[in-house]
Amino acid sequence: WRFVVVRDKALRQEMRKLGNDQAQITDASLLVIMTADTKAWQKNPARYWEKAPKEVADLLVGWMGPFHDGREWLQRDEAQRSIGMAMQTLMLSAKGLGYDSCPMIGFDIEAVAKLINLPADHVMGPMVAIGKGTKQPWPKPGQLALNDVVINNTF
C-alpha cells in the first residue's frame, strides 16, 4: 500500500468537484488516498522481509515471484487486501487518538488518479478523511443476520 496524503488546498478543491461535492474532501484536517503498487512483488521484494529470520525471508522472497507472476487478478486482489488492512488500521489509530474518520468511495477514480499522477502499476482504493467530526454521522442502515453472513464449513 501507499498513502497519498493530500495537503494542497487547491488540489483538494478539485477532488471535491470529482467527489460528489463531499465536504470531507476539503474540510477534513487530513485527507489520505489509499493506493497500492500491484507490482511491488517485483520491486526488491527482499525489503519487506529484511527483519525476518534469513530462512523465512529466503522462503517468502523466493515464493513471491512464482505466486504472483502472470496472475494480474491476484496482484490486484492482493493490492486491495493490503489497502483494506492499512485503511482499517489507520482509522482505528485515528479513533485511538480521539479523531473521527470516514472512508470514501464516491469519487471519479480515474480523474482523481490523473490528478495525483497515479503510476500505471498502482491501483486506487478509498479516500479516508480524518479530523474532528462536525456533525453526527448518518445512522447505520442495519446489518444482515448472522446466519446470512457466517457459513460453517461449506456453502
Computed over every residue of the chain, the mean pLDDT equals 94
Q: What pLDDT is attached to residue 43?
A: 93
Residue 143 has pLDDT above 90, yes or no: no
Strand ranges for the chain from DSSP E: 2-5, 30-37, 100-104, 122-131
> What is the widest separation between alpha-carbon atoms in the chain?
52
Q: What is the mean predicted confidence (pLDDT) over 74-80? A: 94
Q: What pLDDT is attached to residue 36?
A: 97
Residue 79 — pLDDT band, cuts 50, 70, 90?
very high
* 31 located within any domain: yes
Q: What pLDDT is attached to residue 6?
A: 98
Q: Give the integer Cα–Cα distance in Å for 24 and 4.
A: 16
- Domain that residue 144 falls in: 2-149
pLDDT tens-digit map of 108-136: 999 999 999 999 999 999 999 999 988 88
* 154 located within any domain: no
Number of folded domains that form the chain: 1
* 108 located within any domain: yes
Residue 39 has pLDDT above 90, yes or no: yes
Q: Give the integer Cα–Cα distance in Å for 81 and 76.
A: 9
Residue 20 has pLDDT above 90, yes or no: yes
* Element (DSSP H or E) covering residue 112: helix 109-115
Grid coordinates belonging to 69: 507472476
Q: What is the mean predicted confidence (pLDDT) over 36-43? A: 94
Q: What is the mean predicted confidence (pLDDT) over 44-51? A: 90
Q: What pLDDT is attached to residue 139?
A: 85
Residue 23 has pLDDT above 90, yes or no: yes
Share of the chain above pLDDT 70, in %: 100
* Element (DSSP H or E) covering residue 151: none
Q: What is the mean predicted confidence (pLDDT) over 17-40? A: 96
What is the CATH classification number for the domain harbouring 9? 3.40.109.10
